[in-house]
Every structure is written in structure tokens, then in C-alpha cells.
Structure 1
Amino acid sequence: MPSHTRALAMNPEAFDAWKALQQTIADSLGPRAFELVTLAAAQGIGSAHCRLAHGKKSLRIMTEAELVPVARNYHDAGLPAAEVAMMEFTEKLSTDSSAMTDADSLRLRRAGFSDREIVDIALAAAARNYLSRILQALAIDVDVPPGLGETLRNALLEPLASRQSVPSAAPPG
């Protein structure tokens, strides 16, 4: 059982409510956008927990060869401009939300996102920040998901390395 599940099971009602909220947002946003937002939010907040977990989950929607460059630097990964704008918005929300202005939302609108999608992007990023901050505050062990290849593990953790001490890329054992 993942470390975060054991810790959050101390208040199962709150954990279940968070999971339901996350599922509602993911269903509205769609799997690809949800995972890209999650990866960018986890990068912004410096969450190795969520980068690794959602790196593994992202393999359901893209190949490892596609995901590795996104994990290293989404700006240079060949993503469509709208997805880069979405990830930039998310990363800014996760690093300095008080500096956000209407211009940030307008940039997403110019990239083709509807008002509902912009709200969903903000909700997904905020929900990720909520869980990431809990895991960090409680000093929950970082789990490396089974089957996550070394190249992808390293790519997911590299953007965090300058921000904090990150766990070894070695699998648990």
C-alpha cells in the first residue's frame, strides 16, 4: 500500500471526499489535460510524490518516449502551444498564485480554452496542490511506483532536483 494511502486513511472521510473531487475534475477535463496539469502542478510545488505517481499514470495516455521530454521540460517537448500554456498557467498557480491576474486566464482563452476548461484547469491544479502540501507537511515517504523505468523516474525528478533534496531514483527494495 502506498505511503500516502496509509497516512490519509487516518481520516478516510476527507480522503474519500478529495478522491471524489479529483475524479469529478478529471472527468470534466479529460485524461490527457488532467495528467499534464497534474505533472505541472507537482513540478511547481516540488512534489516528488505526485510527479512519480502521475508519471506512471500518464503512461496510460502517452508512451514513455513521449512522456520523458514532457517530464524534463514541457516547453521543449513538442507539445501543442495550448498544452504548454495550460502547463505554464498551472505551474504559476502552484508557485505564486497571488501573482496571477486576469491576463493569465485570458492567455488560456486565447489558446482556445473555454471558461469551463479554464476553471477545470485551476481546480485540477489546486486539488493537486492540496494533496501535495499534505504529503509534504506530514513528511510522507516518497513511493516509486512499481514498473516505472529508470529513464522516466530520472526525467520526472530532474526538474525538482534544484529545488529540494529528491529521493534516489532507485526502486524501493
Structure 2
Amino acid sequence: MAVYDRFWDGIYQQYRERLLRQVQKYLPARDESHDVLQDLYVQLRHRNVNPSDISNPPAYMMRMATNLAIDAVRRHKRNPLEFTDPAEISEMGGTVHQSVTPEQISSDRQRLDIIRDAISDLPPRCREVFLLCKRDHLSTQEAADRLGISRNMVEKHLRQALGHCKQVLARHEN
């Protein structure tokens, strides 16, 4: 074991709980946060970074942990099933096939048509914001940057769009 490895092992063990709390801010699921810490440990060992080159090794590890957690969140947004327990997926599949009736499918399709119509009735900018955030999964800041408007304006459009969709759906369900 290299001298650097012993140093990083000691720092990692000393700050492990703080690192875990930091990662859990982004990934509350216990298994995912522990996976991120394991990745952090592996990266520390493989990078072979001289601790004397780092002005604040605990802060360096904290930044690495945060970056790894953010990367995991991004992966999760791109592929949510990747982070789902296979047992849960099989349970969902069994439940869905047993409890869904043709009437339920028809009702769901009607609701989707109602929502689709409600979205098409929105003012153009409001509809664009709604689709960017809900369909394309952009954050409010990302949508604001893309459209050249403020984040507050994006949030206002989202509230308007969601309120409109709820009202239209409520009218049809009553």
C-alpha cells in the first residue's frame, strides 16, 4: 500500500459520516448513497493524488462526493429504472397486469386526451415552458436559460399550466 493510500484511507474513515450526510442530501436512498461513497473511495485509490498537492483534503473529498452524487442524480433522471430494485419492477408488472381492466385503460386514454387538449389550449410560451420542464425533464433554471427568461417566469408559467390542466381535468371528471 502506497503512502498516499494510507493517507486517503485515514481521511476517508475520519470524514465518512460527513461524506455520507452530504451525499444523502442528493440521494436519500441508503443503498445509492453508500454506492456513491464506494465510488469515491475507489476513485481516491485510483487517482493516486499526492495529498500535499491538495490544500484542503477533506474539502476535496467533499467536492468529489458531491460531484458523484450529482452524477448519480443525472443518471437517475435519464434512466429511472436503472435505480429501481428489480424485485419492485417485477411486483409492479404483476400488479399492473392483474388489476388493469379494459375500462381503466379506456378511462386513462380519455384522461390523457383531455390533458393533451388542455396543454394545447395553453398560451404558446406557457405551453413551451410546461413541455420543457415536464416532458423534457429540464430544471426550471435550464428552461429559463434555454428560453432567455427568468427562473421566476418559468415557475409562473408552470403554475399557470398545472392549474389549467387541473381545472380542465376536474371539469371533465365531475
Which band: TM-score by shorter chain? under 0.3
Structure ranking higher in helix proportion: 2
TM-score where L is the length of structure 2: 0.27
Higher-RCO chain (CA-CA 8 Å, sequence separation at least 6): 1
TM-score where L is the length of structure 1: 0.27
